[in-house]
Chains A and B, each alone.
Chain A
Amino acid sequence: MHSPTTLLDPTAELQPSERQLLPRLSSIAGATIGLLDISKPRGKEFLDEVQKHLEQAGATVKRYTKPTFARIAPTELTQQISVECDAVIEGLAD
């Protein structure tokens, strides 16, 4: 039998109790955006197009590739992206 774990909020309750997303970029211009190819067929062509649009908007784009779409990205790769980029776009679909 599973019963959900309940905690009492230690905060001033000024924020929603759900986990919050990290702050979004206020502007793409000047930012370094990573594009992560998850190794699905034709991902490259799609991301080439995305890159073009991002560069037109003033972003610097860096490209990364996951070894296989079936597994989560290796820690080394996520760390590399977090150090080198302000934001990342990960392609999820075919």
Chain B
Amino acid sequence: MVLSTEKHQLEQLLPAKTEHKLSVTNHRNPFLNQDTANNNSTHYALVVKKDCPTCALIEPVIKSLADHSALSLKVYVQDDPSFPANLSGVIDDSTLEYSYQQGIEIVPTLIRFKDNSEEESRIFGWEKKQWQSFTGIDKLGAELIEFKPGCGSKTQDPGMEEVLALRFGGQGLQARTVELAEAEDIMEACYDRGWSDGLPVVPPTPLRVMRMLKGCSRDAAEIIGNVPPDNVPCSIEKIAINAVMAGCKPEYLPLVIASVEAALQDRFCMHGLLCTTYFSSPVMVVSGPITKQIGMNSGLNALGQGNRANATIGRALQLLIRNVGGGVPGGIDRATMGNPGKYTYCFAEDESDEDWASLAMDRGFERRDSVVSLFAGDGLQAILDQQSRTAASLAKSMALSLRSVAHSKLFGLADAILVVCPEHRRVFRESGWSKEDLRKALYEELMTPGSEIIRGAAGIAEGMPKKFKDKILNKFRDDGLHIVTTGGTAGMFSAIIGGWVAAGERGSQIVSQKL
């Protein structure tokens, strides 16, 4: 249905292509002086639309220009070829092909051509003296008011630019086109071709992709890297196509591109992450001004459903890896269970506390930078603590829960993101703690004698190898625990996003990409 609306819209906007040739030299108007009849005449083209009051005002001017023996005029009308009234030979430009090729922005526009048909000069709107000198006709429009600005050309209607670029621009979309059979349902067709993550996708029509590409200033053909697992070169255009399918708005595209660039950083190890039998998949944390500019959710239900930007930006990366990279569940993706975040897992940081560093700042960026960070992570584990009123108590409480990442007896294996809710952050801030103080307290709290967590300890076969028996171990690698804040202001519920059990240089490390 979506596409048929679009087609309908296209057909409404643009009547079927007319056959007339657009070269200004080969159109013959029997009522006007032509170059064949008078080699000394000056050639003009006038583009008007009936709906424009200025064009309506100058209707008598158009007639007197057309009747003038010293010049040759072609009149192009964008909306109604019966305008101007009683003038023959008016050229119907309702396809807007001529207006588009001439770059008309305002009607009326009067263009003067040199003998070789090259444009010499143009004027637009109505300014009596200017028109008189431009045409060399002293009394032109003498009875009219001195000045009236023109109207927007129909080529400038909202959304028309991409329609016309597709139709007449010879623009450079390079992706293969897929033509559907008449009986195919467009939504089903996308499923049938294996393009979907299981949910409906927005059909990637050329027009939608053109509009998506307007969201960034980069060349559609630019290759930004090879997407695993098939290591296929990926263009901005392919990212735009998948962003369309995910449901993104064009203004999200720079962020989607940055997320792909982040995923392709070697330290992120996207290939291995995709292949793993473990739960993990990219978790996207967005920091900085972009989150507000595109309306991302960092408040109530920030990790839940309901916000278009959060939902579709995370999904776009997943679809890209599926479609361009070829990473399909049951194929290269060997996850035992996966996790629901493999549809989409993207949220914005709450940065309402100026003195609490964002994840991007922890990673060397500044508050004013817009940054997307990718973490190889799983689902969400709650930390409920409604009793702690001191930072010390709350930090111990969180540390205790953090032990459960992957397994309470496995240390240094998986990284984690600690998602601090605003109410818990308030507890830390009221105790005078910074994020660094919290990180230090967690580190100290998570130091553990190896004897407690080696294999067999506590009657549990799983655990650290026996060689760690006499060591003191920390739950997380250095730089393995990341702290972010997001969520609504009510509720003392923080959370843990556990990481892939191949953390660090042997697997995946958190990556950040500035927009």
A interface vs B, CB < 8 Å? Answer: 1-14, 17, 19
- Number of contacting residues on B, CB 8 A? 37
Say yes or no: B230 contacts A4, CB within 8 Å: no
Given contacts A12-B324, A12-B325, A19-B193, contact A6 B232 (CB under 8 A): no
Contact across chains for A8 and B180 when beta carbons are under 8 A apart? no
Find chain B residues with CB under 8 A from A17 CB.
Answer: 176, 178
Contact B177 A9 (CB under 8 A): yes
**Complex interface: chain A residues within 8 A of B157 (CB):** none
Q: How many A-B residue pairs have CB under 8 A?
A: 77
Q: Hey, what's the 0/1 contact readout for B310-346 against A, CB within 8 Å counting as 1?
A: 0000000001000111100000000000000000000
* Cβ contact within 8 Å between B326 and A5: no
Contact in complex: B192, A11 (CB < 8 Å): no
* Residues of chain A lying within 8 A (CB to CB) of residue B237: 8
List 16 A–B pairs whose Cβ atoms lie within 8 Å, in order of A's numbering.
Answer: A5-B7, A5-B180, A5-B184, A5-B189, A7-B180, A7-B186, A8-B173, A8-B177, A8-B178, A8-B209, A9-B177, A10-B324, A11-B324, A12-B230, A19-B192, A19-B193
Q: Are A12 and B326 in contact (CB under 8 A)?
A: yes
* Additional A-B contact list (4), CB under 8 Å, known A4-B180, A6-B180: A6-B179, A8-B178, A10-B324, A14-B232
Q: Which residue of B lies closest to A2 (CB)?
A: B182
B404 contacts A by Cβ under 8 Å:
no
Q: Is the CB of A7 within 8 A of B7?
A: no
Residue B238, interface by CB 8 Å? yes
Known pairs A4-B180, A4-B182; A10 contacts B192 (CB<8 A) = no
Q: Mark B165-182, 1 if CB is under 8 A from A, else 0.
A: 000000001011111101
Report which of B3, B16, B175, B326 forms a contact with A9, defined as CB distance below 8 A: B175
Assembled-state Cα–Cα distance A89/B189 (Å): 25
What's the Cα separation between A14 and B325 when bound, in Å?
A: 10
Q: Which of A2, A3, A7, A12 contacts B178 (CB 8 A)?
A: A7
Residues in A with CB closer than 8 Å to B16 are 1
User: A14: shortest Cβ distance to chain B, in Å?
Assistant: 7
Least CB distance from B15 to A in Å reads 11
* Residue pair B175, A12 in contact (C-beta under 8 Å): no
B241 contacts across to A, CB distance below 8 A: 8-10
With both beta carbons as reference points, the residue of chain B lying nearest to A5 in the complex is identified as: B180
Nearest CB in chain A to that of B325: its residue: A12
* Beta-carbon contact of A14 and B230 below 8 Å: yes
Contacts of B178 in A (CB 8 A): 6-9, 17
Residue of A nearest to B186 (CB): A5
In the complex, whether B276 has a CB less than 8 A from a CB of chain A is no
Sort A-B residue pairs by CB-CB distance and give the 10 closest, nearest first: A12-B232, A9-B176, A8-B175, A10-B323, A10-B241, A5-B180, A11-B323, A7-B178, A8-B204, A4-B179
